[in-house]
Structure 1
Amino acid sequence: QISKMKHIIKILQRNMSRRSKTNDMKQLVFGKYLLLTNTVSSGLLMAIGDLAQQEIEYRQKILTKRYDWGRLLRMTIVGTTIGPVHHYYYTYLDKLLPKSDLNTVFKKMALDELVAAPLFIAMFFYGMGALERKSFQESHKELKDKFITVFLVDLCVWPPTQFINFYYIPSKYRVVYINFITMLY
């Protein structure tokens, strides 16, 4: 009887030790190294999203090659570049508007659509243009030509996404959540 009890106690201690290690890792990833987490997840999830998009385009016969590795690299670089901007933007927004009541959530959503969305759309087009070796004028023309369409799609996706983000998601998980939705977007 006592040996069974000792065995059960050892198993429980081992499991508690694993949980402690998991909690320690979570503290590092979403605490001390949050900027790194947000940056890496932005680049990685942008890459995964582009791989999925390329697979769809290949199956629809839009692409003749299954994967364009240069495009994938460019998307990863743009995602990795935007990650720190997301990190500091959402950190600032939470300091500017620290509450999570409905009134504050709607203010954050308005700022996100009126300030952040145009900024991030422009960053994407200028960043991709630079990596594709386009001139500033070419990138600017592409942004002008596509901005309204992209912004209208943005208005369909991001307000409900940001409502969930600002109302339900703790601050330290906001950017990873946004990165995940961006991957699907």
Structure 2
Amino acid sequence: MNLIKSIVFGKYLIVTNTVSCGLMMGIGDILQQRSEQWKRKYLQVSADQELDIMDDKKNTLFFVQSSNNFNNDNQSNQLVNLTNKFEDNDSASSGLDVIRTRNMTMIGIIQGPFHHYFYGFLDKFLPGKTATSIVKKTFLDQVIASPTCLSIFFFGHEMLEQRDLRLIYGEILAKLLETYKVDCCFWPPTQIVNFLFIPIQYRVIYINLMNVFYNIFLSHTKYISLQRLLVNGKFTEIINQFLIHHRSAVSYHSARHNKIDFRNNNLK
């Protein structure tokens, strides 16, 4: 038993922290998916809310499909797929979305080494359990670790889903601030307990266990709150801004191309 403990929480602690981080992310997503399925099965969404969702979705698709500068290219397809995501979630209500859970697990594995080295650095830089040390650790965790992990979470998911960088920017713009507000409520008290009572070698494991509960919220934010964005019009606004930006870029390149052609014709 002592040999296993020395291996798992000693020589190969980074492996333990990385694998456990991935597993807890995956478990959190599975719990959230089951919660979604339970709500669909036992709770009914009001007819008015369903109509609001569909009307806003139609408006969003109109913005996408009516653009003269979108000719069924990859970016327009991604926009349409993004607006259809909540329908995909509905159609998958009878089973587990394995790809979604896989992506959550992979993001956890990516975050694992960062957790391992960051909290090791905190304990070396701010040793002890004095009130000053704990406050400083908690502050650094909130201003460094939390934004870093949230960035890895959103960017990592979008990359795994092979989305355009401007679509990534749009979703982060819509979700990051609200997510960070919840983060600031959940993690400071959690980390105070961590730095005060948990031994150093078990701190990342403790964080990963608490991540099960926090990842339920993250999974909800990433995969479900698109419905809310559609209902309150935020996502439509983001799509519209995206199209305006895209049209401006196309107009600029088109004008530049015509100018070059004009010069070439004059040279001839």
Give TM class, smaller chain.
Answer: 0.7 to 0.9
TM-score of the two chains, using structure 2 as the length reference:
0.59
Is residue 2:26 matched to residue 1:30?
A: no
SS, match of residue 22 in structure 2: helix
TM-superposed deviation, 1:145? 1.2
**Structure 1 equivalent of residue 30 of structure 2:** 51
Is residue 2:74 matched to residue 1:95?
A: no
Q: Which has the higher contact order (CA 8 A, sep 6+)?
A: 2
Structure 1 Cα separation of the partners of residues 5 and 197 of structure 2:
19
TM-superposed deviation, 1:52? 0.7
Structure 2 Cα separation of the partners of residues 153 and 173 of structure 1:
25
Greater Cα offset, 157-166 or 112-121: 112-121
SS, match of residue 134 in structure 1: coil
Unaligned runs of 5+ in 2: 41-88, 215-268
Is residue 2:131 matched to residue 1:152?
A: no
**Structure 2 equivalent of residue 86 of structure 1:** 115
TM-superposed deviation, 1:24? 1.4
Structure 1 Cα separation of the partners of residues 166 and 160 of structure 2:
14
Residue-pair matches, total: 164
TM-superposed deviation, 1:65? 3.3
Structure 2 Cα separation of the partners of residues 45 and 142 of structure 1:
24
Structure 1 Cα separation of the partners of residues 163 and 183 of structure 2:
24
TM-superposed deviation, 1:155? 1.2
The one-letter code sitting in structure 1 at the alignment partner of 2:21 is S
Mapping of residues 102-117 of structure 1, within 5 Å = 102-117=131-146
**Structure 2 equivalent of residue 129 of structure 1:** 158
The one-letter code sitting in structure 1 at the alignment partner of 2:94 is K
Runs of 4+ with deviation above 4 angstroms: none
Would you say the 8 A contact 1:126–1:136 is kept in 2? no
Counterpart of 1:65 (choices 72, 83, 94) is 94
**Structure 2 equivalent of residue 12 of structure 1:** none
Unaligned runs of 5+ in 1: 1-21
Structure 1 Cα separation of the partners of residues 168 and 198 of structure 2:
35
TM-superposed deviation, 1:137? 2.1
Structure 2 Cα separation of the partners of residues 88 and 140 of structure 1:
28
TM-superposed deviation, 1:119? 1.0
Cα RMSD (Å) of the superposition?
Answer: 1.1
Q: Deviations over 1:79-132 (max 9, x none)?
A: 111001110111111111112211100000011111111111111000011111
Would you say the 8 A contact 1:30–1:173 is kept in 2? yes
